[in-house]
Amino acid sequence: MADLSAIVTSVYVPIVAAVGSGMLISKLLVSYGGAWGESNSRRIPAVLAQFLLRIGIPIGIANFVRSAELSASAWIAPITASLAIALGLLFTSYILGAKSSILTRTRRSFQLSSYVGNTSFIGFPVVLLLPQLGPSYFGIAVLYDICGTVLGGYGLGTWIATRGEKKDGNNSLRSALVKTGQLLYKNPSLIAFGVGILLKSVELPDAISSILNIIAWGSIMLALLTMGMRIEQLSGSGSFQLPLKAVLIKMIAVPVLIGALLTASGFAGPERLVLVLQAGMPCAFATLVLAENFNLDREFTVQSLIISNLVLLFTLPIWVIALTSW
C-alpha cells in the first residue's frame, strides 16, 4: 500500500498534471482561439516536439547520464531492448498469421505498435520520478531507448514499413534510407548519451550544473505537456479489437516475459525494474510518424496510442509493486 501511495504521489500527480495541462491548453486553443487557435493547436506541439527531440531531451540525457550510475550490468539494456523487439514481432506473427483479410498497411502498423514504445516522453519521466529509481538509473533507460526506439523504431521500423515494395527498384530503397536518416537525425539521443559519458570526468561549476538541471527537468515536464496536447488531438473510430491486441502484446505479454527472463538470469532490483518498465511503455508517437511518412494505417495507429496510454495507468503500479516485492 505504501508503494502504491508513493507511485501516486511521486509519479501520477506530476505526470497527470503536466499531461492534463497540455490537453487543456489544446482544447482551449480550439474552443476559444478561432482559426488561429485551431491551426496553432497542432503547430505548437509539433514545434515543441522538434525542440525537445533535438535540444531539450538531448540536454536532459547528457545531464542525467553525467550523474547516473552505469554499472557493469548496463550492457543488458540493449540486449533486453532487442529481445523485446523480437518477442513483439514473434507474437505479432502468431496473432496475424496468414489472415488475408488484414491489409498490408494495417499489418505493418500492427507490427510497429507491438514493439515501438514511448521510452522517452513517458519512459524517462517515469524512471526519473519513481522513488525506487531516480536519476541514478537513468543511463539504463537511455540505452534501452537508443536501441529499442531510436534504432529499433526508426531503423528497423522503416524497413518494416517499406519491405516488399518493388516499385522504383533501387530508388525506393534509397528513398527509405534517406527518410530513415532524416528521422534519426531528428532524435540525437545517441550523441547526447556519449556527451553525458564524457562529462562524467569533467568537474562543472555549480552554476552550470544548476542550469543544466533546470533545463533537464524543465524538458521532461515540457515533454509531458506536449504529450497531453498530442493526446487531446487523437480521435479514434471504428473497432478497437485489433489495436487492443497489439497493445496487449506491447504492454502485457512482452514485459511479463522480459521480467521472467531477467529474473531467471539472476537480474533483480532497480535494473530489472527499469528494463521491464521501458519494455511496458505505451505505443510511441514514433509509430504515427512512420505511419504518416510511409502511408501505413493511421487510424489503427491512433487507436493503439489511445488505448496504450490508458492501459499504462493500470500496469505501472503492477510492475512496480511486483518487481520490488520479490
Specify whether the CB–CB gap between 109 and 297 falls below 8 A. yes
CATH of the domain at 316: 1.20.1530
Query: Which of 70, 57, 286 is CA-nearest to residue 192?
Result: 57
Domain that holds residue 8: 2-323
pLDDT (0 to 100) of residue 13? 83
pLDDT in tens, the chain (326 residues): 556 676 667 778 888 888 889 889 988 988 887 778 878 887 888 888 778 877 888 888 888 888 777 776 778 899 999 999 999 999 999 888 766 678 888 899 999 999 999 888 888 889 988 888 888 888 899 889 888 877 887 778 888 887 755 555 555 556 656 666 665 565 676 778 788 888 888 888 888 888 988 988 888 888 888 888 888 877 766 678 889 999 999 999 999 999 999 999 988 888 999 999 999 999 988 888 788 778 888 889 888 998 998 999 899 989 988 888 65
pLDDT the model gives residue 304: 92
Q: What is the DSSP letter of 281?
A: P
Answer whether 116's CB lies under 8 Å from 152's CB.
yes
pLDDT of residue 83: 94
- All three cell numbers of 324, joined, read 520490488
Which residues does 274 contact at the CB level (< 8 Å), separation at least 6?
77, 127, 133, 137, 140, 141, 144
Tell me how many domains the chain contains. Answer: 1
Query: What's the sign of the alpha-carbon dihedral 286, 288, 293, 296?
Result: positive
Residue 245: what pLDDT? 93
- Asked if residues 262 and 312 have their Cβ atoms less than 8 Å apart, the reply is no
Check residue 87 and give its pLDDT: 95
Burial of 40 (0-12, 13-18, 19+ CB in 10 A): middle
Cβ(267)–Cβ(279) under 8 Å? no
The rounded distance, in Å, linking the Cα atoms of 127 and 20 is 20
